[in-house]
Amino acid sequence: MENVAIFDSPGKGRGLKATKEFWAGDVIFSEPSISAVVFDSLGERICHSCFRRGDKLQRCGQCKFAHYCDRTCQRAGWAEHKLECSSIKAYGKVPNENIRLVARLMWRLDKEGSMVSDMQLTTLDELEDHVADMQEDELKEFKVDIHNFLDYWPRTSKQHTIDDISHIFGVVNCNGFSVSDQRGLQAVGVGLFPNLCLVNHNCWPNCTVILNHGNQSAVNTMFHSQRRIELRSLGKIEEGEELTVSYVDYLNLSEERQRLLKTQYFFDCTCEHCKNRTKDDLKLAGKEVDGVKPSEEQVKEATDHCYEILEKMDQARLKGDYHEVVKICKACIEKVEPILADTHIYLLRIWSTLSEVQAYLQYFNDAADYARKMVDGYIKLYNPNNAALGMAAMRAGVTHWQAGEIEVGHGMICKAYSILMVTHGPTHPITKDLEAMRMQTEMELRMFKQNEYVYHSMREAALKNKPMTMMHEPKNVEEGIKNMFHRKK
Protein backbone atom coordinates (compact mmCIF):
# COMPACT_ATOMS: atom_id res chain seq x y z
CA MET A 1 0.00 0.00 0.00
CA GLU A 2 2.76 2.45 -0.82
CA ASN A 3 0.40 4.75 -2.77
CA VAL A 4 -1.89 5.77 0.09
CA ALA A 5 -1.80 6.61 3.79
CA ILE A 6 -4.42 6.96 6.51
CA PHE A 7 -4.88 10.50 7.81
CA ASP A 8 -7.36 12.58 9.80
CA SER A 9 -9.63 14.27 7.29
CA PRO A 10 -10.98 17.53 8.75
CA GLY A 11 -14.62 17.03 9.75
CA LYS A 12 -14.80 13.51 8.33
CA GLY A 13 -12.77 11.33 10.68
CA ARG A 14 -10.25 9.03 9.10
CA GLY A 15 -9.61 9.06 5.39
CA LEU A 16 -7.04 8.09 2.79
CA LYS A 17 -4.63 10.45 1.09
CA ALA A 18 -2.33 10.02 -1.88
CA THR A 19 1.36 9.67 -1.05
CA LYS A 20 2.37 10.50 -4.61
CA GLU A 21 1.00 12.16 -7.71
CA PHE A 22 -1.58 10.38 -9.88
CA TRP A 23 -3.00 10.91 -13.36
CA ALA A 24 -6.34 10.02 -14.96
CA GLY A 25 -6.75 6.24 -15.20
CA ASP A 26 -4.02 5.33 -12.70
CA VAL A 27 -4.86 2.40 -10.44
CA ILE A 28 -4.22 3.74 -6.95
CA PHE A 29 -4.82 0.38 -5.35
CA SER A 30 -6.49 -2.90 -6.10
CA GLU A 31 -7.74 -5.34 -3.47
CA PRO A 32 -9.85 -8.48 -3.07
CA SER A 33 -12.96 -8.59 -0.87
CA ILE A 34 -12.68 -9.97 2.64
CA SER A 35 -15.90 -11.69 1.77
CA ALA A 36 -18.96 -11.28 -0.46
CA VAL A 37 -22.37 -12.91 -0.99
CA VAL A 38 -24.81 -13.16 -3.89
CA PHE A 39 -28.11 -11.26 -3.39
CA ASP A 40 -31.06 -13.32 -2.10
CA SER A 41 -32.96 -12.70 -5.33
CA LEU A 42 -30.16 -14.02 -7.60
CA GLY A 43 -29.05 -17.08 -5.62
CA GLU A 44 -29.68 -19.47 -8.52
CA ARG A 45 -28.49 -17.30 -11.39
CA ILE A 46 -25.11 -16.06 -10.20
CA CYS A 47 -22.13 -18.26 -9.34
CA HIS A 48 -21.47 -18.03 -5.57
CA SER A 49 -17.75 -18.24 -6.15
CA CYS A 50 -16.85 -16.06 -9.15
CA PHE A 51 -20.07 -13.96 -9.31
CA ARG A 52 -20.49 -14.50 -13.02
CA ARG A 53 -23.92 -14.99 -14.51
CA GLY A 54 -24.53 -18.47 -15.86
CA ASP A 55 -27.36 -20.30 -17.62
CA LYS A 56 -26.64 -23.76 -16.28
CA LEU A 57 -25.27 -23.36 -12.80
CA GLN A 58 -24.80 -26.45 -10.67
CA ARG A 59 -26.33 -26.63 -7.24
CA CYS A 60 -24.41 -27.58 -4.11
CA GLY A 61 -25.67 -31.07 -3.31
CA GLN A 62 -25.45 -30.47 0.46
CA CYS A 63 -27.32 -27.22 1.13
CA LYS A 64 -29.06 -27.03 -2.27
CA PHE A 65 -28.63 -23.26 -2.03
CA ALA A 66 -25.20 -22.31 -3.37
CA HIS A 67 -24.81 -22.46 -7.16
CA TYR A 68 -21.60 -22.67 -9.20
CA CYS A 69 -20.43 -22.50 -12.81
CA ASP A 70 -18.68 -25.85 -12.45
CA ARG A 71 -16.56 -28.03 -10.14
CA THR A 72 -13.64 -25.64 -10.38
CA CYS A 73 -15.69 -22.73 -9.03
CA GLN A 74 -17.22 -24.95 -6.38
CA ARG A 75 -13.78 -26.04 -5.20
CA ALA A 76 -12.51 -22.44 -5.25
CA GLY A 77 -15.51 -21.32 -3.18
CA TRP A 78 -15.46 -24.21 -0.72
CA ALA A 79 -13.26 -22.49 1.90
CA GLU A 80 -15.84 -19.75 2.37
CA HIS A 81 -18.89 -21.94 1.85
CA LYS A 82 -17.97 -24.93 4.02
CA LEU A 83 -19.31 -23.63 7.34
CA GLU A 84 -22.11 -21.74 5.61
CA CYS A 85 -23.18 -24.98 3.93
CA SER A 86 -23.53 -26.98 7.14
CA SER A 87 -25.16 -24.04 8.95
CA ILE A 88 -27.82 -23.61 6.26
CA LYS A 89 -28.58 -27.33 6.50
CA ALA A 90 -28.83 -27.20 10.28
CA TYR A 91 -30.86 -23.96 10.27
CA GLY A 92 -33.28 -25.47 7.75
CA LYS A 93 -33.57 -22.30 5.66
CA VAL A 94 -31.41 -19.66 4.02
CA PRO A 95 -30.85 -16.47 6.00
CA ASN A 96 -30.87 -13.13 4.17
CA GLU A 97 -27.85 -11.63 2.41
CA ASN A 98 -26.84 -9.40 5.34
CA ILE A 99 -26.75 -12.32 7.74
CA ARG A 100 -24.92 -14.51 5.24
CA LEU A 101 -22.30 -11.82 4.67
CA VAL A 102 -21.73 -11.14 8.37
CA ALA A 103 -21.38 -14.88 9.05
CA ARG A 104 -18.90 -15.35 6.18
CA LEU A 105 -16.87 -12.40 7.45
CA MET A 106 -16.82 -13.67 11.02
CA TRP A 107 -15.80 -17.18 10.03
CA ARG A 108 -12.95 -15.73 8.01
CA LEU A 109 -11.81 -13.38 10.77
CA ASP A 110 -12.08 -16.13 13.41
CA LYS A 111 -9.86 -18.31 11.28
CA GLU A 112 -7.30 -15.77 10.06
CA GLY A 113 -7.31 -13.01 12.68
CA SER A 114 -8.40 -9.40 12.24
CA MET A 115 -5.88 -8.76 9.43
CA VAL A 116 -6.58 -11.01 6.48
CA SER A 117 -3.85 -9.48 4.34
CA ASP A 118 -0.73 -7.41 4.98
CA MET A 119 -2.09 -4.79 2.56
CA GLN A 120 -4.91 -4.00 4.98
CA LEU A 121 -4.61 -0.57 6.61
CA THR A 122 -7.32 -1.01 9.23
CA THR A 123 -9.19 -3.74 11.08
CA LEU A 124 -12.98 -4.01 11.10
CA ASP A 125 -12.91 -3.24 14.85
CA GLU A 126 -11.67 0.25 14.04
CA LEU A 127 -14.37 1.06 11.49
CA GLU A 128 -17.46 3.08 12.38
CA ASP A 129 -20.72 1.11 12.69
CA HIS A 130 -23.15 4.05 13.18
CA VAL A 131 -25.53 1.80 15.12
CA ALA A 132 -26.20 4.69 17.52
CA ASP A 133 -27.30 6.91 14.60
CA MET A 134 -29.97 4.56 13.30
CA GLN A 135 -33.62 5.56 13.13
CA GLU A 136 -36.11 3.51 15.11
CA ASP A 137 -37.53 1.44 12.25
CA GLU A 138 -34.10 0.74 10.84
CA LEU A 139 -32.95 -0.34 14.28
CA LYS A 140 -35.90 -2.70 14.55
CA GLU A 141 -34.95 -4.45 11.30
CA PHE A 142 -31.34 -4.51 12.45
CA LYS A 143 -32.30 -6.30 15.67
CA VAL A 144 -34.33 -8.90 13.75
CA ASP A 145 -31.23 -9.64 11.64
CA ILE A 146 -29.09 -10.06 14.76
CA HIS A 147 -31.71 -12.31 16.34
CA ASN A 148 -31.80 -14.52 13.23
CA PHE A 149 -28.03 -14.47 13.02
CA LEU A 150 -27.81 -15.95 16.52
CA ASP A 151 -30.10 -18.82 15.48
CA TYR A 152 -28.06 -19.41 12.35
CA TRP A 153 -24.57 -19.17 13.90
CA PRO A 154 -23.49 -22.71 14.89
CA ARG A 155 -22.67 -23.57 18.51
CA THR A 156 -19.46 -25.19 17.30
CA SER A 157 -18.16 -21.88 15.88
CA LYS A 158 -16.48 -19.31 18.09
CA GLN A 159 -19.05 -17.41 20.18
CA HIS A 160 -19.13 -13.60 20.10
CA THR A 161 -20.81 -10.97 22.24
CA ILE A 162 -23.94 -9.23 20.91
CA ASP A 163 -21.94 -5.99 20.80
CA ASP A 164 -19.32 -7.51 18.52
CA ILE A 165 -21.93 -9.02 16.23
CA SER A 166 -23.89 -5.78 16.09
CA HIS A 167 -20.69 -3.90 15.26
CA ILE A 168 -20.02 -6.10 12.21
CA PHE A 169 -23.65 -5.73 11.06
CA GLY A 170 -23.25 -1.95 11.37
CA VAL A 171 -19.96 -1.94 9.43
CA VAL A 172 -21.52 -4.00 6.63
CA ASN A 173 -24.52 -1.69 6.63
CA CYS A 174 -22.54 1.45 5.85
CA ASN A 175 -19.51 -0.01 4.05
CA GLY A 176 -20.94 -2.82 1.94
CA PHE A 177 -19.98 -2.42 -1.69
CA SER A 178 -22.06 -3.71 -4.61
CA VAL A 179 -20.45 -6.51 -6.54
CA SER A 180 -21.45 -6.58 -10.21
CA ASP A 181 -21.56 -9.43 -12.70
CA GLN A 182 -18.74 -9.94 -15.20
CA ARG A 183 -20.15 -7.34 -17.63
CA GLY A 184 -20.36 -4.73 -14.89
CA LEU A 185 -23.94 -3.90 -15.84
CA GLN A 186 -25.87 -5.19 -12.86
CA ALA A 187 -25.26 -5.39 -9.14
CA VAL A 188 -25.52 -9.05 -8.17
CA GLY A 189 -24.15 -9.18 -4.65
CA VAL A 190 -22.52 -7.30 -1.81
CA GLY A 191 -19.06 -7.54 -0.31
CA LEU A 192 -16.69 -5.85 2.09
CA PHE A 193 -13.35 -4.49 0.85
CA PRO A 194 -10.92 -3.59 3.64
CA ASN A 195 -9.21 -0.41 2.39
CA LEU A 196 -12.09 0.86 0.28
CA CYS A 197 -13.95 1.32 3.61
CA LEU A 198 -11.52 4.13 4.39
CA VAL A 199 -12.21 6.20 1.27
CA ASN A 200 -14.50 9.10 2.11
CA HIS A 201 -17.28 10.54 -0.02
CA ASN A 202 -17.28 13.65 -2.16
CA CYS A 203 -20.11 14.50 -4.57
CA TRP A 204 -17.44 15.57 -7.09
CA PRO A 205 -14.83 12.88 -6.34
CA ASN A 206 -11.30 12.46 -7.68
CA CYS A 207 -11.52 8.65 -7.84
CA THR A 208 -13.87 5.91 -8.95
CA VAL A 209 -14.17 2.26 -7.91
CA ILE A 210 -14.60 -0.55 -10.38
CA LEU A 211 -14.94 -4.24 -9.84
CA ASN A 212 -12.81 -6.19 -12.27
CA HIS A 213 -13.37 -9.93 -12.54
CA GLY A 214 -10.09 -10.32 -14.40
CA ASN A 215 -9.75 -12.78 -17.23
CA GLN A 216 -11.57 -16.08 -17.19
CA SER A 217 -8.52 -18.34 -17.01
CA ALA A 218 -7.02 -16.61 -14.00
CA VAL A 219 -10.27 -16.64 -12.06
CA ASN A 220 -9.90 -19.72 -9.96
CA THR A 221 -6.21 -19.78 -9.35
CA MET A 222 -6.34 -17.76 -6.18
CA PHE A 223 -8.83 -17.64 -3.36
CA HIS A 224 -11.09 -14.60 -3.86
CA SER A 225 -8.97 -13.33 -6.73
CA GLN A 226 -12.12 -12.98 -8.82
CA ARG A 227 -13.61 -10.23 -6.68
CA ARG A 228 -11.12 -7.41 -6.81
CA ILE A 229 -11.91 -3.75 -6.84
CA GLU A 230 -9.67 -1.10 -8.31
CA LEU A 231 -9.56 2.46 -7.02
CA ARG A 232 -8.85 4.52 -10.15
CA SER A 233 -7.92 8.17 -10.48
CA LEU A 234 -10.34 10.34 -12.50
CA GLY A 235 -7.83 13.12 -13.14
CA LYS A 236 -4.66 14.59 -11.73
CA ILE A 237 -4.28 14.07 -7.98
CA GLU A 238 -1.55 15.87 -6.04
CA GLU A 239 0.60 14.18 -3.42
CA GLY A 240 -1.14 14.61 -0.04
CA GLU A 241 -4.60 15.18 -1.55
CA GLU A 242 -7.50 13.26 0.01
CA LEU A 243 -8.84 10.42 -2.15
CA THR A 244 -12.61 10.42 -2.53
CA VAL A 245 -15.33 8.48 -4.31
CA SER A 246 -19.02 9.30 -4.66
CA TYR A 247 -21.57 7.18 -2.81
CA VAL A 248 -24.53 8.75 -4.65
CA ASP A 249 -25.37 9.70 -8.21
CA TYR A 250 -24.41 13.28 -9.03
CA LEU A 251 -27.59 13.64 -11.07
CA ASN A 252 -29.51 14.24 -7.84
CA LEU A 253 -29.97 17.81 -6.62
CA SER A 254 -27.57 18.75 -3.81
CA GLU A 255 -30.38 18.72 -1.24
CA GLU A 256 -31.41 15.21 -2.31
CA ARG A 257 -27.81 13.97 -2.26
CA GLN A 258 -27.39 15.34 1.24
CA ARG A 259 -30.61 13.68 2.37
CA LEU A 260 -29.53 10.31 0.92
CA LEU A 261 -26.08 10.55 2.48
CA LYS A 262 -27.54 11.48 5.86
CA THR A 263 -30.11 8.68 5.98
CA GLN A 264 -27.96 5.99 4.39
CA TYR A 265 -24.45 6.82 5.56
CA PHE A 266 -25.10 9.08 8.56
CA PHE A 267 -23.11 12.19 7.68
CA ASP A 268 -23.72 15.74 6.44
CA CYS A 269 -21.95 16.33 3.16
CA THR A 270 -19.98 19.56 3.22
CA CYS A 271 -18.32 19.19 -0.19
CA GLU A 272 -17.91 22.27 -2.40
CA HIS A 273 -20.68 21.16 -4.75
CA CYS A 274 -23.15 20.80 -1.87
CA LYS A 275 -22.08 24.05 -0.22
CA ASN A 276 -22.43 26.04 -3.44
CA ARG A 277 -25.36 23.98 -4.80
CA THR A 278 -23.28 23.69 -7.97
CA LYS A 279 -25.29 22.90 -11.10
CA ASP A 280 -28.60 22.65 -9.18
CA ASP A 281 -29.91 25.45 -11.41
CA LEU A 282 -29.00 23.50 -14.56
CA LYS A 283 -30.72 20.37 -13.28
CA LEU A 284 -34.08 22.14 -13.13
CA ALA A 285 -33.47 24.70 -15.87
CA GLY A 286 -35.80 26.00 -18.55
CA LYS A 287 -34.77 25.99 -22.19
CA GLU A 288 -33.57 29.23 -23.73
CA VAL A 289 -34.67 29.69 -27.32
CA ASP A 290 -33.28 32.71 -29.21
CA GLY A 291 -32.50 34.45 -25.94
CA VAL A 292 -36.02 33.93 -24.58
CA LYS A 293 -36.48 31.84 -21.45
CA PRO A 294 -39.76 30.28 -20.36
CA SER A 295 -41.31 31.79 -17.22
CA GLU A 296 -40.69 30.28 -13.82
CA GLU A 297 -44.30 29.06 -13.68
CA GLN A 298 -43.97 27.32 -17.02
CA VAL A 299 -40.80 25.55 -15.88
CA LYS A 300 -42.39 24.56 -12.60
CA GLU A 301 -45.49 23.24 -14.33
CA ALA A 302 -43.40 21.20 -16.79
CA THR A 303 -41.24 19.90 -13.92
CA ASP A 304 -44.31 18.79 -11.95
CA HIS A 305 -45.74 17.14 -15.03
CA CYS A 306 -42.51 15.17 -15.59
CA TYR A 307 -42.48 14.12 -11.96
CA GLU A 308 -45.94 12.58 -12.30
CA ILE A 309 -45.00 10.89 -15.57
CA LEU A 310 -41.81 9.38 -14.14
CA GLU A 311 -43.83 7.30 -11.71
CA LYS A 312 -46.21 6.06 -14.40
CA MET A 313 -43.26 5.38 -16.70
CA ASP A 314 -41.44 3.31 -14.08
CA GLN A 315 -44.58 1.32 -13.30
CA ALA A 316 -45.18 0.49 -16.96
CA ARG A 317 -41.55 -0.49 -17.36
CA LEU A 318 -41.65 -2.76 -14.33
CA LYS A 319 -44.72 -4.47 -15.76
CA GLY A 320 -42.84 -4.97 -19.01
CA ASP A 321 -45.46 -2.95 -20.89
CA TYR A 322 -42.92 -1.28 -23.17
CA HIS A 323 -45.39 0.09 -25.72
CA GLU A 324 -47.14 1.87 -22.87
CA VAL A 325 -43.77 3.29 -21.75
CA VAL A 326 -43.23 4.70 -25.24
CA LYS A 327 -46.72 6.21 -25.32
CA ILE A 328 -46.39 7.86 -21.91
CA CYS A 329 -42.89 9.21 -22.60
CA LYS A 330 -43.67 10.56 -26.04
CA ALA A 331 -46.74 12.44 -24.86
CA CYS A 332 -44.74 13.97 -22.02
CA ILE A 333 -41.77 14.88 -24.21
CA GLU A 334 -44.00 16.64 -26.71
CA LYS A 335 -45.31 18.79 -23.90
CA VAL A 336 -42.12 19.59 -21.96
CA GLU A 337 -39.28 19.51 -24.51
CA PRO A 338 -39.98 23.07 -25.72
CA ILE A 339 -39.84 24.34 -22.12
CA LEU A 340 -37.11 22.35 -20.31
CA ALA A 341 -33.35 22.50 -20.87
CA ASP A 342 -31.46 19.37 -21.93
CA THR A 343 -29.85 19.32 -18.49
CA HIS A 344 -33.19 18.98 -16.69
CA ILE A 345 -32.81 15.79 -14.67
CA TYR A 346 -36.41 14.60 -15.10
CA LEU A 347 -36.29 15.08 -18.84
CA LEU A 348 -32.97 13.20 -18.87
CA ARG A 349 -34.57 10.27 -17.07
CA ILE A 350 -37.41 10.17 -19.57
CA TRP A 351 -35.01 10.29 -22.55
CA SER A 352 -32.87 7.59 -20.96
CA THR A 353 -35.77 5.20 -20.43
CA LEU A 354 -37.32 5.91 -23.80
CA SER A 355 -34.09 5.30 -25.70
CA GLU A 356 -33.51 2.08 -23.79
CA VAL A 357 -37.00 0.80 -24.51
CA GLN A 358 -36.92 1.88 -28.18
CA ALA A 359 -33.61 0.07 -28.64
CA TYR A 360 -35.18 -3.05 -27.17
CA LEU A 361 -38.18 -2.71 -29.47
CA GLN A 362 -35.68 -2.16 -32.32
CA TYR A 363 -36.77 1.37 -33.23
CA PHE A 364 -33.15 2.35 -33.61
CA ASN A 365 -33.59 5.83 -35.10
CA ASP A 366 -35.70 6.92 -32.15
CA ALA A 367 -33.41 5.19 -29.67
CA ALA A 368 -30.41 6.96 -31.19
CA ASP A 369 -32.02 10.43 -31.11
CA TYR A 370 -32.97 10.21 -27.44
CA ALA A 371 -29.67 8.63 -26.44
CA ARG A 372 -27.80 11.51 -28.09
CA LYS A 373 -29.91 14.12 -26.33
CA MET A 374 -29.24 12.32 -23.06
CA VAL A 375 -25.47 12.31 -23.64
CA ASP A 376 -25.52 16.03 -24.56
CA GLY A 377 -27.22 16.75 -21.22
CA TYR A 378 -24.94 14.43 -19.24
CA ILE A 379 -21.85 16.13 -20.66
CA LYS A 380 -22.96 19.43 -19.16
CA LEU A 381 -23.53 17.89 -15.74
CA TYR A 382 -21.13 15.03 -15.06
CA ASN A 383 -17.38 15.00 -14.52
CA PRO A 384 -15.86 14.39 -17.99
CA ASN A 385 -14.58 11.03 -16.76
CA ASN A 386 -17.76 9.85 -15.03
CA ALA A 387 -18.50 6.14 -15.60
CA ALA A 388 -22.25 6.73 -16.08
CA LEU A 389 -21.45 9.25 -18.81
CA GLY A 390 -19.19 6.68 -20.47
CA MET A 391 -21.91 4.03 -20.36
CA ALA A 392 -24.44 6.49 -21.80
CA ALA A 393 -22.07 7.37 -24.65
CA MET A 394 -21.60 3.68 -25.32
CA ARG A 395 -25.35 3.14 -25.52
CA ALA A 396 -25.69 6.15 -27.82
CA GLY A 397 -22.87 4.83 -29.99
CA VAL A 398 -24.44 1.39 -30.34
CA THR A 399 -27.91 2.75 -31.14
CA HIS A 400 -26.50 5.14 -33.75
CA TRP A 401 -24.61 2.28 -35.33
CA GLN A 402 -27.79 0.22 -35.32
CA ALA A 403 -29.66 3.12 -36.90
CA GLY A 404 -27.05 3.33 -39.66
CA GLU A 405 -25.67 6.67 -38.47
CA ILE A 406 -22.11 5.51 -38.61
CA GLU A 407 -20.35 8.86 -38.19
CA VAL A 408 -22.07 9.84 -34.96
CA GLY A 409 -21.98 6.21 -33.85
CA HIS A 410 -18.23 5.96 -34.25
CA GLY A 411 -17.71 9.31 -32.51
CA MET A 412 -19.79 8.21 -29.51
CA ILE A 413 -18.02 4.85 -29.28
CA CYS A 414 -14.65 6.67 -29.28
CA LYS A 415 -15.89 9.00 -26.56
CA ALA A 416 -17.13 6.07 -24.47
CA TYR A 417 -13.86 4.24 -25.00
CA SER A 418 -11.75 7.15 -23.81
CA ILE A 419 -13.85 7.49 -20.63
CA LEU A 420 -13.91 3.78 -19.85
CA MET A 421 -10.15 3.52 -20.32
CA VAL A 422 -10.01 5.80 -17.27
CA THR A 423 -12.91 4.46 -15.18
CA HIS A 424 -12.74 0.75 -16.05
CA GLY A 425 -9.24 0.29 -17.45
CA PRO A 426 -8.06 -1.57 -20.55
CA THR A 427 -8.63 -5.11 -19.22
CA HIS A 428 -12.29 -4.72 -18.21
CA PRO A 429 -14.67 -6.73 -20.47
CA ILE A 430 -16.71 -3.62 -21.36
CA THR A 431 -13.60 -1.70 -22.41
CA LYS A 432 -12.56 -4.65 -24.53
CA ASP A 433 -16.00 -4.75 -26.15
CA LEU A 434 -15.70 -1.05 -26.82
CA GLU A 435 -12.33 -1.48 -28.38
CA ALA A 436 -13.75 -4.09 -30.76
CA MET A 437 -16.67 -1.78 -31.58
CA ARG A 438 -14.30 1.10 -32.16
CA MET A 439 -12.32 -0.91 -34.69
CA GLN A 440 -15.48 -2.21 -36.37
CA THR A 441 -17.09 1.24 -36.67
CA GLU A 442 -13.84 2.77 -37.84
CA MET A 443 -13.63 0.23 -40.63
CA GLU A 444 -17.29 0.80 -41.52
CA LEU A 445 -16.83 4.55 -41.51
CA ARG A 446 -13.96 4.26 -43.96
CA MET A 447 -16.10 2.05 -46.17
CA PHE A 448 -19.02 4.46 -45.88
CA LYS A 449 -16.85 7.32 -47.08
CA GLN A 450 -15.59 5.30 -50.02
CA ASN A 451 -18.78 3.63 -51.14
CA GLU A 452 -22.12 4.09 -49.42
CA TYR A 453 -23.79 1.23 -51.29
CA VAL A 454 -21.23 -1.33 -50.12
CA TYR A 455 -21.47 0.07 -46.64
CA HIS A 456 -25.25 -0.34 -46.41
CA SER A 457 -25.30 -3.88 -47.74
CA MET A 458 -22.52 -4.87 -45.37
CA ARG A 459 -24.28 -3.21 -42.44
CA GLU A 460 -27.44 -5.17 -43.10
CA ALA A 461 -25.47 -8.39 -43.00
CA ALA A 462 -23.80 -7.29 -39.79
CA LEU A 463 -27.15 -6.39 -38.18
CA LYS A 464 -28.43 -9.86 -38.96
CA ASN A 465 -25.52 -11.37 -37.06
CA LYS A 466 -26.00 -8.84 -34.28
CA PRO A 467 -22.38 -8.59 -33.22
CA MET A 468 -22.99 -5.53 -31.07
CA THR A 469 -26.36 -6.10 -29.45
CA MET A 470 -27.21 -4.48 -26.18
CA MET A 471 -30.83 -5.48 -26.39
CA HIS A 472 -31.33 -7.11 -23.05
CA GLU A 473 -34.56 -6.36 -21.23
CA PRO A 474 -34.55 -2.70 -20.34
CA LYS A 475 -34.65 -2.70 -16.58
CA ASN A 476 -32.32 -0.83 -14.26
CA VAL A 477 -29.28 -1.47 -16.37
CA GLU A 478 -27.47 1.47 -14.89
CA GLU A 479 -28.31 0.71 -11.29
CA GLY A 480 -25.12 -1.23 -10.73
CA ILE A 481 -23.00 1.62 -11.94
CA LYS A 482 -24.69 4.62 -10.44
CA ASN A 483 -25.18 3.22 -6.95
CA MET A 484 -22.10 1.23 -6.30
CA PHE A 485 -22.32 1.38 -2.58
CA HIS A 486 -24.84 -1.11 -1.48
CA ARG A 487 -27.55 0.05 0.88
CA LYS A 488 -30.98 -1.36 1.47
CA LYS A 489 -33.60 1.12 0.40
Among 6, 27, 63, 361, binds Zn ion (CB under 5 A): 63
Q: How far is the CB of 262 from Zn ion (least distance, A)?
A: 11
Nearest residue (CB) to Zn ion, 50 versus 299: 50
CB 104 within 8 A of CB 84: yes
| Among positions 18, 24, 38, 66, the unique one binding Zn ion when judged by CB under 5 A | 66
Interface map 96-115 toward Zn ion (x if CB under 5 A): --------------------
Q: Does residue 50 touch Zn ion according to CB under 5 A?
A: yes
Whole-number minimum distance, CB 253 to Zn ion, in Å? Answer: 11
**Residue 227 to residues 49, 132, 193, 222, 473, Cα–Cα distance (Å):** 9, 31, 9, 10, 26
Q: Which stretch binds Zn ion (CB under 5 A): 81-89, 100-108, 238-246, 443-451?
A: 81-89
User: Which CB atom, from 69 or from 171, has the smaller least distance to Zn ion?
Assistant: 69
Among 83, 102, 237, 274, binds Zn ion (CB under 5 A): 274
CB 226 → Zn ion: shortest distance, Å? 8
Burial of 67 (0-12, 13-18, 19+ CB in 10 A): buried
Instruction: CB nearer to Zn ion: give 65 or 351.
Output: 65
Q: Please state the length of the chain.
A: 489
For the CB of residue 63, give the shortest distance to Zn ion in the complex, in Å.
3
Identify the three-state secondary structure at position 432.
helix
Q: Which of 77, 75, 99 is nearest to 88 (CA)?
A: 99
CB of 361 to Zn ion, least distance (A): 33
Cβ proximity to Zn ion: between 123 and 221 the closer is 221
Instruction: Quickly count: other Cβ atoms within 10 Å of residue 378's Cβ.
Output: 24
Q: For Zn ion, which residue of 127, 192, 248, 271 counts as binding (CB under 5 A)?
A: 271
- Residue 85 interacts with Zn ion (CB under 5 A): yes or no: yes
Name the minimum Å distance from CB 278 to Zn ion: 9
Cβ–Cβ < 8 Å for 469, 183: no
SS3 track for 212-252: ECCCHHHCCCCCCCCCEEEEEECCCECCCCECEECCCCCCC
Q: Is 203 in the site for Zn ion (CB under 5 A)?
A: yes
CB of 474 to Zn ion, least distance (A): 27
Minimum distance between the CB of residue 45 and Zn ion, rounded to whole angstroms?
A: 12
288, 347 contact by CB (below 8 A): no
- Out of 60, 102, 116, 340, the residue judged to bind Zn ion by CB under 5 A: 60
Determine which residue in the list 269, 285, 339, 434 makes contact with Zn ion, applying CB under 5 A: 269
Q: Which are the contacts of 415, defined by CB distance < 8 A and separation ≥ 6?
A: 375, 390, 393, 397
Our finding on whether 46 is near Zn ion (CB under 5 A) is no
By beta-carbon proximity to Zn ion, the closer residue of 2 and 268 is 268
Q: Are 354 and 330 a contacting pair, CB within 8 Å? A: yes
Q: What is the largest CA-CA distance in the chain?
A: 76
| Residue from the set 8, 13, 23, 62 that interacts with Zn ion by CB under 5 A | 62
284 vs 414 by CB, closer to Zn ion: 284
Q: Are strands 187-192 and 35-38 parallel, antiparallel or unpaired?
A: antiparallel
Pick one of 18, 34, 69, 83: the residue that binds Zn ion (CB under 5 A).
Answer: 69
Element (H, E) at 441: helix 429-450
Question: Of 38, 47, 406, 437, which lies in the binding site for Zn ion, with binding defined by CB under 5 A?
Answer: 47
Q: How far is the CB of 16 from Zn ion (least distance, A)?
A: 18
Does 73 participate in binding Zn ion (rule CB under 5 A)?
yes
What are the φ and ψ backbone dihedral angles of 91, each rounded to 5 degrees? Answer: -75, -25
How many C-beta atoms surround the C-beta of residue 301 within 10 A? 15
φ/ψ bin of 2: left (φ > 0), alpha (ψ from -120 to 50), beta (otherwise):
alpha
- By CB under 5 A, residue 190 contacts Zn ion: no
Q: How many residues bind Zn ion (CB under 5 A)?
A: 14
CA dihedral sign of residues 228, 232, 237, 241: negative
Q: Nearer Cβ to Zn ion, position 66 or 412?
A: 66
Helix or strand holding residue 201 (H, E): strand 200-201
Q: Is 471 in the site for Zn ion (CB under 5 A)?
A: no
Can you give the binding site for Zn ion, defined by CB under 5 A?
A: 47, 49-50, 60, 62-63, 66, 69, 73, 85, 203, 269, 271, 274
